[in-house]
Amino acid sequence: MTLSLPQHYREILKGLGEDPEREGLLDTPKRAAKAMQYLCHGYEQNLDEIVNGALFTSDNDEMVILKDIELYSLCEHHLLPFIGKAHVAYIPTGKVLGLSKLARIVDMYARRLQIQENLTRQIADAIQGVTQAAGVAVVIEAKHMCMMMRGVEKQNSTMNTSVMLGAFRESNTTRMEFLQLIGRSK
């Protein structure tokens, strides 16, 4: 017999030494299962559905940036949250992506069990694949509860990751313009 997700949470509570029958925990397995399904709903999404044809013809060939996109993800090693923000940019080559789609792409990949390094790469590759841009840049800065709540317990640590593709990788000037515009370079 296969256990349902709430039943698994019930077993976890028992394994922790808790009584899942006590008043405060009666509905916890159901709520925890529902919360985990929500936190990981990126598995139910795909890039084509997210973009939904929102790629528009444009003569713009200058950098497009969306910064401070808040993100919430779960560390695949401890199932603990990491919380931060993403900054994304691309240089169009005849097509621009609907603005909200950049944030939706960030969310789709963030709402999967992740490590930040892979998340940064997945976002950059997805934007590149959809837009065929001359370059894509993604910077993520996040605080990891697995570093703050357990282990080394470093409360003020922030992890920064970046992926630079195309013009952002090849041109120091383009990369520096992006970093300056997101406030990461003087």
Catalytic residue IDs = 75-78, 116, 144, 146
d(CA 40, CA 44): 8
Single out the residue of 53, 68, 110, 65 nearest to residue 92, CA to CA.
65
DSSP letters for 74-143? EETTT--EEEEEEEEEEE-SSEEE-HHHHHHHHHHHHTSEE-HHHHHHHHHHHHHHHH--SEEEEEEEEE
- The C-alpha R_g of the chain, in whole angstroms, comes to 20
* Alpha carbons within 13 A on the beta-carbon side of 105: 29
d(CA 130, CA 127): 5
